[in-house]
Amino acid sequence: MKTAVVTGASRGLGFGFVQNLLGQGYEVFATYRALKDDEPLAQLNHPHLHKLTMDVTDSTSIQTAYQAISAKTDSLALLINNAGINHDSPGMHKPSTTQLGHLQRTELLEMFDVNTIAPIMVVQTFVPLLANAKVINISSYRASFTHRDEDGNYNNYGYAASKVALNMMTRDLAHELAPHNAMVFAIDPGSVHTAMNQRGAQSPDEASEAILKTVAKLKSVDSGKCFTNSGKRALL
Ligand SMILES: NC(=O)c1ccc[n+]([C@@H]2O[C@H](COP(=O)([O-])OP(=O)(O)OC[C@H]3O[C@@H](n4cnc5c(N)ncnc54)[C@H](OP(=O)(O)O)[C@@H]3O)[C@@H](O)[C@H]2O)c1
């Protein structure tokens, strides 16, 4: 049975991945930072679903999750770095991350920690399970200069920049993972209706299904590159 790890699986796009992967017959390790009783993952039970904690900003938590997962499998088909935060989103638009005069170093660093540094720390820990695996780093259209020029969206100091950096780290990871026959892709999921984006156009189920279809077609020549959920090269 093929196995997958999903970070930030408690809700939103991450939970969409969990449902789609279970539907495709995967054994799924759905990881979460904290799980409230009313969150979708808390309410889902399936014989091939394992729920476990992983705060992606905490090296001990990543290592503990790795130990638990590696006790059950010696290889992953998919590692999905989905966990992300956006203090700059329209719903939040906190001056501490969006407005000169109010910017707070700790809040900007938090976005880089979760969105950029955490995916490579997770990959680093999971390398022993990644032979022949595909790693999906969930990026964003906000990482595109072209998109943001067209959109006229500014004041996005933490989130957009953290996803630009994730794209570059994806490129570097591809080089390091190649000897393991592992591939890594940065995927822009498009606009998804979640807590982060309450005006999102697609459901988490639709977006995650599209991403899984796209990633199934990607090959080693594509590793390190950025794609939309439908498989087009993402605008940079
Ligand atoms: N929605 C969109 O339109 C859109 C567009 C482009 C990209 N994205 C990206 O898609 C991904 C999923 O976002 P979403 O829209 O599904 O947002 P969401 O509903 O807010 O879900 C974010 C998930 O990340 C988890 N998370 C946050 N910090 C974490 C940490 N330190 N450790 C582990 N998990 C953590 C959250 O868990 P908690 O419950 O513990 O907070 C939650 O499960 C993100 O990477 C986001 O940047 C979304």
Q: Is 45 helix (H, G, I), strand (E, B) or coil?
A: coil
Q: What is the pLDDT averaged over residues 62-88?
A: 97
Does residue 12 have its Cβ closer than 6 Å to ligand 1? yes
Tokens representing residue 27 in the block: 């054994």
- Domain interval for residue 40: 3-228
% of the chain beyond a pLDDT of 90: 88
Note whether residue 13 is domain-resident.
yes
pLDDT tens digits, residue range 102-149?
A: 999 999 999 999 999 999 999 999 999 999 999 999 999 999 888 888
Note whether residue 209 is domain-resident.
yes
pTM for the complete prediction?
0.97
Note whether residue 110 is domain-resident.
yes
Instruction: Report how many domains make up the chain.
Output: 1
Those residues with Cβ within 8 angstroms of residue 121's Cβ, 6 or more apart along the chain or in another chain? 56, 59, 62
pLDDT tens digits, residue range 155-200?
A: 789 999 999 999 999 999 999 999 999 999 999 999 999 999 999 9
CATH classification of the domain holding 215:
3.40.50.720
- Determine the residue of 29, 33, 44, 235 to mutate for testing ligand 1's pocket, defined as the one with the most ligand atoms within 8 A of the Cβ atom: 33
Tokens representing residue 220 in the block: 């080693």
Spatial strand order of the sheet with 27-32 comes to 49-53, 27-32, 3-6, 78-81, 134-138, 183-188, 226-228
Note whether residue 219 is domain-resident.
yes
Of residues 230 and 155, more confidently modeled: 230
| Cβ-contact 156, 205 below 8 angstroms | no
Note whether residue 224 is domain-resident.
yes
Does residue 82 have its Cβ closer than 6 Å to ligand 1? yes
Does residue 224 have its Cβ closer than 6 Å to ligand 1? no
**DSSP code at position 218:** -
Note whether residue 234 is domain-resident.
no
Gap from CA of 179 to ligand 1 centroid (Å): 30
Q: Is 18 helix (H, G, I), strand (E, B) or coil?
A: helix
In the prediction, which pLDDT does 28 show? 98
In the prediction, which pLDDT does 153 show? 73
Note whether residue 236 is domain-resident.
no
pLDDT tens digits, residue range 21-37?
A: 999 999 999 999 999 99
Does residue 236 have its Cβ closer than 6 Å to ligand 1? no
pLDDT > 80? residue 95: yes
Note whether residue 24 is domain-resident.
yes
pLDDT tens digits, residue range 81-91?
A: 999 999 887 66
